[in-house]
Amino acid sequence: MRKTSVYLPDALKRRLSALAERRHRSQADLIRSAVEQLVEGDASSPAPESPVPGRLVGVGVGPGSADLLTVRALQALRRATVVLAPSTDLSAIGRAEATVREAAPDVVVERMTFAMTPDPDARRAALDAAAERTVELLEAGEEAAFITLGDPNLYSTFSSVVDGVRERRPGTPVLTVPGVMAFQDLAARAGLVLADDQQTFVVLPANEEAVCEAGGRVAELLADPACTLVLYKGGRRIEAIGERLQEAGRVDGATFGELLGMPGERVAPVSSVADRPASYLSAVIVPAVP
């Protein structure tokens, strides 16, 4: 036996003392068991994978809450030799970066700017620059992880980055790490079942006016009571969405979630928020009628 001394904060020391009394064991005995569990747990966990030079990995970091970032995502972030984060400006912390910063403050990111503007030329130029920088890193033998909100395979900049990289560097190996999607977080927070039995489930981007106007795609899908409809990107169109819900008699249960897991988060019935535009980071779930 060898002796090890540890300093414990007062509050922890008090709780340890109370636990020892309850369990009729010495504090030293409890500390020894805890250290044994820690060391054994570490020895039985799989050895971390090595980075693959030249591989691009899309890592979904979930919608915003740090505790929805998966263990696999954390492993991918720590394995990568460079972590890329989309942002609107080199001096602005994007939402995905903020989530990673909270969940894994040790992970350092390199920002890539993406133009959030309707101007297609500006968007193309930003995407080209991002693809070129990514290729440069991959050619230098890095494993590059690109972080994205939610899942990298659903409406994510990651797929455009992959296209740009593969145009310039065909055959680039690409891996994705799934992330929790915003509608999953919203369903859980609101206690909604997304679909059951023979019900269908549709995710629709609602950023275009035509989609949300009377007779548009939203109205068409709402006409089917067995369809659960999730609307993404529709913050600016929430008033029109509210009108379509009224017309279809689907207001009950229709739930709005904004900035989930982030400062300013709101979860509310659509009927209570549809009087003014909401943030781009908002999603709506219209549950199928049981």
Ligand X SMILES: C[S@@+](CC[C@H](N)C(=O)[O-])C[C@H]1O[C@@H](n2cnc3c(N)ncnc32)[C@H](O)[C@@H]1O
In the complex, the residues that contact ligand X under the rule CB under 6 A are: 63-64, 148-151, 154-156, 181-182, 232-233, 257-262, 280-283
Measured from the CB of residue 54, what is the shortest distance to ligand X in angstroms? 25
Q: Which is nearer to ligand X, 16 or 280 (CB)?
A: 280
Q: Which is nearer to ligand X, 54 or 270 (CB)?
A: 270
Measured from the CB of residue 234, what is the shortest distance to ligand X in angstroms? 7
Burial (Cβ within 10 Å: 0-12, 13-18, ≥19) of residue 82: middle
Q: Nearest-CA neighbor of 99 among 155, 150, 158?
A: 150
Taking the mean position of all CA atoms in its chain, how far away is CA 6?
38
CA distance 121 to 176: 28
Measured from the CB of residue 86, what is the shortest distance to ligand X in angstroms? 10
DSSP string, 77-128: HHH-SEEEEEESSTTS--HHHHHHHHH-TT--EEEEE---SS-HHHHHHHHH
Q: Which is nearer to ligand X, 51 or 152 (CB)?
A: 152
Which DSSP symbol is given to 68?
A: G
The answer to whether 140 touches 113, Cβ cutoff 8 Å, is no
Q: Which is nearer to ligand X, 54 or 261 (CB)?
A: 261
Measured from the CB of residue 255, what is the shortest distance to ligand X in angstroms? 11
Measured from the CB of residue 260, what is the shortest distance to ligand X in angstroms? 4
CA distance 174 to 158: 11
User: Beta-strand (E) ranges in 49-122?
Assistant: 56-60, 82-87, 109-113
Which DSSP symbol is given to 39?
A: H
Q: Which is nearer to ligand X, 134 or 176 (CB)?
A: 176
Q: Which is nearer to ligand X, 81 or 160 (CB)?
A: 160
The answer to whether 259 touches 268, Cβ cutoff 8 Å, is no
Q: Which is nearer to ligand X, 134 or 282 (CB)?
A: 282
Measured from the CB of residue 232, what is the shortest distance to ligand X in angstroms? 3
Measured from the CB of residue 113, what is the shortest distance to ligand X in angstroms? 16
Give φ, ψ of 60 to 5 degrees.
-80, 130
The answer to whether 62 touches 99, Cβ cutoff 8 Å, is yes
Q: Nearest-CA neighbor of 290 among 192, 187, 183, 185?
A: 192
Closest residue to ligand X: CB criterion: 150
User: What kind and span of H or E run contains 230?
Assistant: strand 227-232
Between the alpha carbon of residue 153 and those of residues 56, 176, 247, the distances in Å are 14, 8, 33
Q: Which is nearer to ligand X, 16 or 195 (CB)?
A: 195
Measured from the CB of residue 94, what is the shortest distance to ligand X in angstroms? 12
